[in-house]
Structure 1
């Protein structure tokens, strides 16, 4: 049965995976071996739709598919009418700081807001425009004003009042300034004042660095900063739900960068922020919010630098003691990603070959037997058991397909036999392994 895939998705998959990164769209076409995880996630989504909140930790070795899993979660969630956002922890992006690194994470989140019609991110202006149109239509209906006249300047104050009323209903901390900025956005929207609209968007995305600059542009006294950004995320979550969306899901990848924070006190402050988010979600202090963290086993279990170094988190995140390889508990906060088995990798490579052919309108001369030969060569190399990752298998396979596409006369058996295995783990992972020895 031929694979049904859009040309844009096929190109994104081949280009991204060839570069060793996860495609932002189309991941559902290359999903294998994650049926149980997706079923558990879908059940959790239903709970969040019904007003609960959730935190999940997706734990796996380097290259085991954590980032892929988060992108797959996005696809599932947007189909169920969630607003989603992805951001990576980096040395300059974290949950707690006093020098702008926390608000930098917030800005990255808001920059990557996505919905089903804009899956690649940048959807915040679309959402704001949609919400404003809803308020305008409601104002017209409640006051028996023709839709063709409601945008007249004489009704501006009426709409302004309704915007502020709606904002007050969905916000807690920082609601007044949030409302003022949204009104400024509306003013720019109605008057076609692009500078005012961009300034309001800049504030909402946490990109103002001084209160003086924000006051000059928008007349507000406060800005989004390291201390209040989490409240703003919760405000946006409630706003999205008021618009008719199911909830707000935030995916935070590369959590190993919290583990790498050199100062013990700063690491603890970041872990304390995770604890706050965890408690808020599971104690019902916030609704319709789903936050996913992706990290390595060290990030979770290392008792010197990982989450388990923080006792309050360790007690919440320890694995169900009755769980076994055969009987897994996918309802617990921590989900450990089991590596794909050889059969699943074979199915994945078959799918990739078909997508590659579709993308280039070609039929590369690679049979199922060739794929088996490729896998035998990869997995029988010295060191494969220790540090071969699905990422490297996929990239090498696509590289061979690329050579054969451009050089049809090349000997595929020779290309396969020339495969070499290298240790792609980050230096820190290698050092941690040495320390454990």
Structure 2
């Protein structure tokens, strides 16, 4: 049995893994073989808590556990009182753009903000209201007004001045409009004007597309766009830290989508943005900010399309030349995720069997010996050494458990024998690789 697992976590784990994706919650219950990486990450979190910033690159093959690792980092950071968020790079979400794709990434980042009490995302309104409550309390104390009275509309101007004064202290670029929008959010909060609050959130999440619309609805001159969204992220980081949080951690997955940008100029602009973030973090230009990027070896090492095609990044991200498979350096910016060995996969499948039984309130007739038989079958299949990933092993195992759960009389050994291995790599990546070889 898995200790301290909640029914909601168990359901999330089983449903997500069956769907081939990483569960948003509960990943700590299925973690195996990553203790050194996590220990190094906890050390890095301490540095960020103390005012430093950090950028890490988690590199591994498809299905090697990069996305899982980012979700695990979320769980660890939330317990350390970080505000965390995650977003995927897609053809429409990029770091640099001149057609709205940069601010689309920003909007995804803001949508997925999480805190320990809201680990599944959507925590931005909660954080804003918590910060406003802190401002209200401080203003009431300074002006010797009761906490009940200070919420009356007659004190609205006083609170708004306090908001703007506090914002101006912690922001640099775009602080006036940022503060004005938060004042509008407070006005909606006090007057119970849900539309005004929604408009303020819309601006803060980068969802206004024209300055005219924002001016009409909120009275601000600017909107968050492709050029200034990174400054807004830094403003939010300072806001969260001023509230008492340890820092702001931003996880960006599926970096292979930057590698797949067709024009070299646009790819380089995106890599230049990564360089800016890297330099800001390691040169002390920002505080309490932690970026994690997850991508494949192609994304990192390919000298035509990957990060190594951009010389300034290659010189910063090359592996410690003294590192070997046995002697690892987890303090460097790039952390390569090695495949789980067979013992670790056995432990993982045992955990999944226990969670499956807990979730469905059953006791599937699969022993340790059966798990070993399943592993022998799948790892000895043609193509296993080249294409098999932990994701596929997990999905096949859970699919077999589902069949047995619903058809108790089925012969599990026949099911084991029907396993097939397929290449899970995206077709378009194989095509890019073929073109590069020509």
TM exceeding 0.5: yes
Alpha-carbon deviation of 1:436?
Answer: 5.6
SS in structure 1 of the partner of residue 149 of structure 2: coil
Instruction: Check the 8 A contact 1:52/1:289 in 2, yes or no.
Output: yes
Flag structure 1 segments of 5+ consecutive residues without an equivalent: none
Confirm whether residue 192 of structure 1 aligns to residue 185 of structure 2: no
Give the Cα–Cα distance (whole angstroms) in 1 for the partners of residues 143 and 391 of structure 2: 58
Aligned residue in 1 for 2:325: 325
Give the Cα–Cα distance (whole angstroms) in 2 for the partners of residues 430 and 409 of structure 1: 42
Aligned residue in 1 for 2:357: 357
Aligned residue in 2 for 1:30: 30
Flag structure 2 segments of 5+ consecutive residues without an equivalent: none
- Where do 1:135-174 residues align within 5 Å? 135-174=135-174
Give the Cα–Cα distance (whole angstroms) in 1 for the partners of residues 83 and 3 of structure 2: 28
- Which digits, 9 at most, give the CA deviation of each residue in 1:160-197, with x for residues without a partner? 11100111111110000000000000000011000000
Aligned residue in 1 for 2:300: 300
- Which digits, 9 at most, give the CA deviation of each residue in 1:207-237, with x for residues without a partner? 0000000001000010000000000000000
Aligned residue in 1 for 2:419: 419
Aligned residue in 2 for 1:230: 230
The TM-score, its normalising length taken from structure 2, stands at: 0.99
- Where do 1:36-435 residues align within 5 Å? 36-431=36-431, 434=434
Give the Cα–Cα distance (whole angstroms) in 2 for the partners of residues 227 and 433 of structure 1: 32
Instruction: Check the 8 A contact 1:140/1:147 in 2, yes or no.
Output: yes
Give the Cα–Cα distance (whole angstroms) in 1 for the partners of residues 120 and 209 of structure 2: 27
Alpha-carbon deviation of 1:429?
Answer: 3.7
Alpha-carbon deviation of 1:430?
Answer: 2.9
Alpha-carbon deviation of 1:54?
Answer: 0.1
Aligned residue in 1 for 2:5: 5
Give the Cα–Cα distance (whole angstroms) in 2 for the partners of residues 375 and 183 of structure 1: 59
Give the Cα–Cα distance (whole angstroms) in 1 for the partners of residues 98 and 92 of structure 2: 12
Alpha-carbon deviation of 1:111?
Answer: 0.3
Alpha-carbon deviation of 1:331?
Answer: 0.3
The TM-score, its normalising length taken from structure 1, stands at: 0.99
Instruction: Check the 8 A contact 1:3/1:354 in 2, yes or no.
Output: no
Give the Cα–Cα distance (whole angstroms) in 2 for the partners of residues 3 and 239 of structure 1: 36
Instruction: Check the 8 A contact 1:100/1:225 in 2, yes or no.
Output: yes
Give the Cα–Cα distance (whole angstroms) in 1 for the partners of residues 429 and 375 of structure 2: 25
Instruction: Check the 8 A contact 2:2/2:29 in 1, yes or no.
Output: no
Alpha-carbon deviation of 1:417?
Answer: 1.1
Alpha carbons of structure 1 residues 40 and 423: separation in structure 2 relative to 1, 3 Å? same
Deviating 4+ runs (over 2 angstroms): 1-4, 428-437
Instruction: Check the 8 A contact 2:281/2:287 in 1, yes or no.
Output: yes
Alpha-carbon deviation of 1:432?
Answer: 5.5
Give the Cα–Cα distance (whole angstroms) in 2 for the partners of residues 231 and 119 of structure 1: 25
Give the Cα–Cα distance (whole angstroms) in 2 for the partners of residues 177 and 4 of structure 1: 45
SS in structure 2 of the partner of residue 150 of structure 1: helix
Instruction: Check the 8 A contact 1:86/1:112 in 2, yes or no.
Output: yes
Alpha-carbon deviation of 1:3?
Answer: 2.9
Give the Cα–Cα distance (whole angstroms) in 2 for the partners of residues 259 and 332 of structure 1: 22
Alpha-carbon deviation of 1:77?
Answer: 0.1
Give the Cα–Cα distance (whole angstroms) in 1 for the partners of residues 437 and 330 of structure 2: 28
Instruction: Check the 8 A contact 1:87/1:105 in 2, yes or no.
Output: yes
